[in-house]
Amino acid sequence: MNRNASRLISVVTGFLFPRQCAGCQGAVARGWWCPECRQKLVPIREPRCECCSHPFEGVLSGKFLCPNCEGRTFHFESAVAVMSSRGVVRELIHGLKYHSMAWAARPLGEMGFNGLCDPRLGDVPDVLVPVPLHPLRRRERGYNQSQLLAREMGRRSRIPVAGLLRRVRNTPTQTHFDRARRMKNLKRAFVVASGMGERVRGANVLLVDDVVTTGSTFDECARTLLEAGADRVSALAIGRG
């Protein structure tokens, strides 16, 4: 079977038979998780970095900034990460990005939807904006995983989703870069998509991405939107890398 056919089958079966556990593929009566897999999910709770959701092990009261955010000014208000990116969450995100598991955007998007009630996000946003992929990478992957996640969140919350940003630089994968390198690498990587200027002006935007690590991608997106007249930008990622 060629790659496209198996991709199509995995996409179609994922959408047709969602009554399988998203973690172990065992049968489930409802929802996305069997009791065992649900128990292994690790939501990010307090205490965690006020700005980027980096979790802090131990007991801490009051607001806390991690070493990555301390002394740094971001253009977004805060970046909420819903889940710790390990175990099944990590596998689903990996599958969504690298193994054509488009269906994984549904359980992951549900997590993103649950994250919308985080008090750090403030008022309900006017629009959900997926972090864009460069067109070349999007073509390679067949979809933008962040757009699928934003759509699932939009479907559940009824908040509109709009591709207000376009990625104009195809930056190499950043996984192994340190913070300074990432920031340099991302400089001017995004622009407001053509015809979207009017929608950006005055908008309260929530950026959506699969994973947040140093916050540099969100920051560059937020900077682009604020420069184009957005009123406020926050960010939400499903996983904390």
Supply the minimum distance, in Å, between the C-beta of residue 70 and Zn ion: 8
How far, in whole angstroms, is CA 89 from its chain's centroid? 12
DSSP bridge pairs for 128: 161, 206
**Contact call for residues 17 and 28 (beta carbons, < 8 A):** no
DSSP states along 199-213: HHTT-EEEEEEEEES
Supply the minimum distance, in Å, between the C-beta of residue 64 and Zn ion: 8
Selected from 14, 21, 96, 107, the binder of Zn ion by CB under 5 A is 21
Only one of the segments 50-58, 89-97, 159-167, 169-177 lies at the binding site for Zn ion (rule: CB under 5 A); that segment is: 50-58
CB atoms within 10 A of CB 45: 8
Selected from 8, 11, 24, 191, the binder of Zn ion by CB under 5 A is 24
User: Whose Cβ is closer to Zn ion: residue 34's or residue 205's?
Assistant: 34
Q: Does 14 bind Zn ion (CB under 5 A)?
A: no
Only one of the segments 36-44, 119-127, 156-164, 206-214 lies at the binding site for Zn ion (rule: CB under 5 A); that segment is: 36-44
Only one of the segments 22-30, 89-97, 144-152, 232-240 lies at the binding site for Zn ion (rule: CB under 5 A); that segment is: 22-30
CB atoms within 10 A of CB 29: 6
Query: For residues 54-93, which are near Zn ion according to CB under 5 A?
Result: 54, 66, 68-69
Only one of the segments 11-19, 37-45, 129-137, 178-186 lies at the binding site for Zn ion (rule: CB under 5 A); that segment is: 37-45
Per rule CB under 5 A, count of chain residues that contact Zn ion? 13
Laid out side by side, the sheet with 127-130 consists of 79-84, 232-240, 204-212, 127-130
Q: Does 37 bind Zn ion (CB under 5 A)?
A: yes
User: Whose Cβ is closer to Zn ion: residue 44's or residue 131's?
Assistant: 44
Amino acid identity, position 113: F
Supply the minimum distance, in Å, between the C-beta of residue 232 and Zn ion: 19
How far are the Cα atoms of 98, 120, 207 from residue 233, in angstroms, in the given order?
Answer: 28, 12, 7
Alpha helix segments (H runs only) across 53-118: 87-98, 105-115
Selected from 49, 111, 196, 222, the binder of Zn ion by CB under 5 A is 49
Q: Which helix (H) or strand (E) holds 166?
A: strand 165-167
Place of tokens 């935007």: 205
Supply the minimum distance, in Å, between the C-beta of residue 216 and Zn ion: 12
Supply the minimum distance, in Å, between the C-beta of residue 168 and Zn ion: 27
Q: Does 51 bind Zn ion (CB under 5 A)?
A: yes
Q: Which helix (H) or strand (E) holds 137?
A: helix 135-141
Amino acid identity, position 97: K
Supply the minimum distance, in Å, between the C-beta of residue 170 and Zn ion: 27
**Contact call for residues 96 and 148 (beta carbons, < 8 A):** yes
Binding site for Zn ion (CB under 5 A): 21, 23-24, 26, 34, 37, 49, 51-52, 54, 66, 68-69
